[in-house]
Amino acid sequence: MRAVVIDRVGGSEVLQLSTLEKPLPGPGEVLVKVHSAGVNPADWKCRQGNLAQFLSYRFPFVLGFDLAGVVEAVGEGVEGFAVGMKVFAQSDVGAGKWGSYAEYACVRHDSVVPMPAGLGFTEAAAVPTPALAAWAGLFDDGALKKGQKVLVHGGAGAVGMFAIQFAKAAGAEVIATCGADNLDYLKLLGCAQAIDYRAQDIGQAVQAWSPGGVDLVLDCVGSSSLPGALDLLSPGGMLVAILTLVEGDAGPDHAAAASRGLRTAVTYSKMPSGGNLGKIAALLADGKVRPPRTETMPLAQVAAAHDLLQSGRAKRKLVLQVAGDD
């Protein structure tokens, strides 16, 4: 099978299109014929070796956290998946197994979910990792409830745009930060107010919107880009930061928060991910949540995709077309 592999960690130059033996599903696994593979910040961080504390690299290594395709085969003990079924999933690359930058990928069955009706492979592949991170931040760690107020910092990114929609679907009120060119987009997603972080004072805007502070701040940016985050919270409020794995990003000041009666957490999508992804799929199928705006690139251009994403020049969610038509 065709696959993008790395034989060492490093820059985008280590990404090589190669041929590998088609994998076979083991017990409890589903073999997916990959049509589309989402490109996430976690991919280039994995490529650089930033995930070494979480997984053991066994070279040649296939990157890629997200995929959409059709079931090719199932392993022993797997039920509920038929050959040819359209599915999407977060891959097992976080466990040190081959990921989605390949024509075939084996994924543990409890991370695989039928594709939502109305979504193509490109849209579905753009969903798992950012949506699961947003879900974990809002609900698993943030314990967001109906009627609460939440600030999403970095609302125009894939994680942020999902967080806005999930919070709205849960009955919360949402304010979010973004660049000037995305103000209208965030309002379309359901924001009560979108804040231009370059032109406006975030603290003043939040205070004007909610004088008593917000119940939850979800920081999708990190790297100390929201230094006054604790000041934006209501008494007993919570700051949840998406795990960035970027050098120099220390995350929330847990001690300072605790001294003020505030709560903090660092969040990331957990495995197996099928339970939460199934809930997300239902929201997508019902039209309550829309997928990110996407740009498709061929698998052979994976290095260019990584460079675009890592440099911050990607304007839309990048998806690699691995095989077939969408």
pLDDT, tens digit (0-9, with 9 covering 90-100), for 7-25: 999 999 999 999 999 999 9
Residues 6+ apart with CB under 8 A from 201: none
249 vs 261: which has the higher pLDDT: 261
Please check the confidence at residue 212 and state whether its pLDDT lies above 90. yes
Q: Domains in the chain, start-ordered, CATH in brackets?
A: 2-127+291-321 (3.90.180.10), 130-267 (3.40.50.720)
When pLDDT is averaged across residues 124-149 and rounded to a whole number, the result is: 98
When pLDDT is averaged across residues 223-249 and rounded to a whole number, the result is: 90
Please check the confidence at residue 271 and state whether its pLDDT lies above 70. yes
Please check the confidence at residue 269 and state whether its pLDDT lies above 90. no
Please check the confidence at residue 224 and state whether its pLDDT lies above 60. yes
Q: What percentage of the chain exceeds 90 in pLDDT?
A: 91
pLDDT, tens digit (0-9, with 9 covering 90-100), for 45-67: 999 999 888 888 999 999 999 99
Please check the confidence at residue 248 and state whether its pLDDT lies above 80. no
Average pLDDT, the chain: 96
DSSP, collapsed to helix, strand or coil, labels residue 188 as: helix
Residue 324 pLDDT level (bands cut at 50, 70, 90): low
When pLDDT is averaged across residues 189-196 and rounded to a whole number, the result is: 97
Out of 63-77, 135-149, 244-258, pick the least confident.
244-258
When pLDDT is averaged across residues 180-199 and rounded to a whole number, the result is: 96
When pLDDT is averaged across residues 280-300 and rounded to a whole number, the result is: 97
In whole angstroms, what is the distance from residue 135 CA to residue 141 CA?
9
In whole angstroms, what is the distance from residue 133 CA to residue 122 CA?
19
Q: What percentage of the chain exceeds 70 in pLDDT?
A: 99
Q: One-letter amino acid identity for 275?
A: G
pLDDT, tens digit (0-9, with 9 covering 90-100), for 142-183: 999 999 999 999 999 999 999 999 999 999 999 999 999 999
**Cα dihedral sign for 73, 78, 82, 84?**
negative
When pLDDT is averaged across residues 275-291 and rounded to a whole number, the result is: 97
Q: How far apart, in Å, are the Cα atoms of 148 and each of 56, 133, 261, 263? A: 40, 20, 18, 16
pLDDT value for 250: 74
pLDDT value for 142: 97
Please check the confidence at residue 206 and state whether its pLDDT lies above 60. yes
In whole angstroms, what is the distance from residue 51 CA to residue 134 CA?
20
Please check the confidence at residue 325 and state whether its pLDDT lies above 60. no
